[in-house]
Amino acid sequence: NPEVFILAIESSCDDTAAAILQNDKVLSNVVANQLIHNQYGGVVPELASRAHQQNIVPVVDAALRKANIQKEQLSAIAFTQGPGLMGSLLVGSSFAKSMAVALQIPLIAVNHMQAHVLAHFIEEDGFDKPSFPFLALTISGGHTQIIKVANFFDMTVIGETTDDAVGEAFDKSAKILGLPYPGGPLIDKYAQLGNPKAFAFTKPKVPGLDFSFSGLKTAILYFIQKKKLENPNFVDENLNDICASIQHTIIEILMDKLKLAVKETGIKQIAIGGGVSANSGIRNTLKEAENKYGWKTFVPKFEYTTDNAAMIGIVGYQKFLTQTFETSSVVSKARIQL
């Protein structure tokens, strides 16, 4: 087989990313984070597209340079078609189209949610790949999905959030506690020092495999408001226990649904992805589930869990093998099914 070199571009939200893959191996994986959003407590779409426009050329240049690849060696260019913020997607797709036309090489459109799942197929020392079929749990600031994966491009969403994503549940809880955005990693940090059973929060009652996190946020808000009336220093004095209890509740919500998904599908391989899979509590709980329930669990290398272009590249490589190419009239889509 000849070597395939893919340039992949990801610009669906607030990170501008480019990667070079040689077949299923990552030669470079560059991400420019947009820290500007932190001061607003969330991603501001208008600022995101502007920052993508500033970052895209330097980020692609850096990816080529780090991979030690000339653009003339590229076999194809893959880009994120959606879902995501339209203004952000347009920067990546326009750039990918122009470059593919200029180099006269194929253009490949990639579904960002498929990419989170297929990130597990990047060849990486020390990381096993799941075999088909498996269940994928994608958890990030924008997504919460359980997906049944029958094959590379045969995926079905069997459960998803009806309101907030898991990452939002972490970040909004953190905000209530007065922690800076994004607060998910801080909750994780303090939770490691606290008692997960110190405070109990009611879990939402959502039928089937779907999730809801907005009720939990409200429950936490009322709980903190009430406790602060009794003791204005309640949060400061109990931060570790509060964080541990919030994290414990979120993990229980996720685990309840995963157990149900395993029961309903009979599939015991679970592959997680998305930025929230960095959470140490979630990682430990999944590891324990291997012995406890006989599951086999997969967590990709950290840099392939948060939004990145390497995962776009691995989908690009799979599509290259089947010659699934687009013309330059392909359009970006803010919403797109699996």
Establish whether 112 is an annotated binding residue.
Answer: yes
Rounded distance between C-alpha atoms, residue 116 and residue 149, angstroms: 12
Structural contact between residues 64 and 338, judged by C-beta atoms closer than 8 angstroms: no
Residue 32 DSSP class: E
- Kindly tell me which of 64 and 165 has the beta carbon lying closer to ligand KG4: 165
Nearer to Zn ion, 159 or 274 (CB): 274
Q: Considering beta carbons, is residue 64 or 315 the nearer one to ligand KG4?
A: 315
- 92's contact among ligand KG4, Zn ion, none, with CB below 5 to 8 A by partner kind, is none
Nearest by Cα to 60 from 8, 1, 22: 8
The minimum distance between CB 14 and ligand KG4, in angstroms, equals 8
Between 243 and 312, CB nearer to Zn ion = 312
Based on CB atoms, which residue is closest to Zn ion, 82 or 106? 82
Min CB(233)–ligand KG4 separation in Å: 25
Partner touching 279 among ligand KG4, Zn ion, none, CB below 5 to 8 Å by kind: ligand KG4
Residue 93 exposed, middle or buried by CB count within 10 Å (0-12, 13-18, 19+): buried
Tell me which residues touch ligand KG4 (CB under 6 A).
13, 140-142, 167, 170-171, 182, 184-185, 187-188, 274-276, 278-279, 306-307
Q: Which of 10, 241, 307, 326 binds Zn ion (CB under 5 A)?
A: 307
Q: How far apart are the C-alpha atoms of 163 and 68, rounded to whole Å?
A: 44
Shortest separation between residue 83's beta carbon and ligand KG4, angstroms: 11
> Which of the choices Zn ion, ligand KG4, none does residue 313 contact, using the CB cut-off of 5 to 8 A by kind?
none
Q: Report the C-alpha gap between 233 and 63 in whole angstroms.
A: 48
**Both tokens of residue 337?**
């099914």
Q: Establish if 210 lies at the interface with Zn ion (CB under 5 A).
A: no
What residues contact residue 225 under an 8 Å CB cut-off, 6+ apart?
none
By C-beta, is 155 or 251 nearer to ligand KG4?
A: 251
Whether the CB-CB separation of 19 and 63 falls below 8 Å is answered with: yes
Give the angle subtended at the CA of 310 by the CAs of 56 and 284, to the nearest 5°: 125
188 known ligand binder: yes
184 is in an annotated binding site: yes
DSSP character string of 116-140:
HHHGGGSB-TT-PPP-SSEEEEEES
- The DSSP code for 232 is T
Q: Which residues are annotated as a binding site for substrate?
A: 138-142, 171, 184, 188, 279
Residue ranges in contact with Zn ion by CB under 5 A: 140, 307
Q: Which residues are annotated as a binding site?
A: 112, 116, 138-142, 171, 184, 188, 279, 307
Q: Which residues are annotated as a binding site for Fe cation?
A: 112, 116, 307
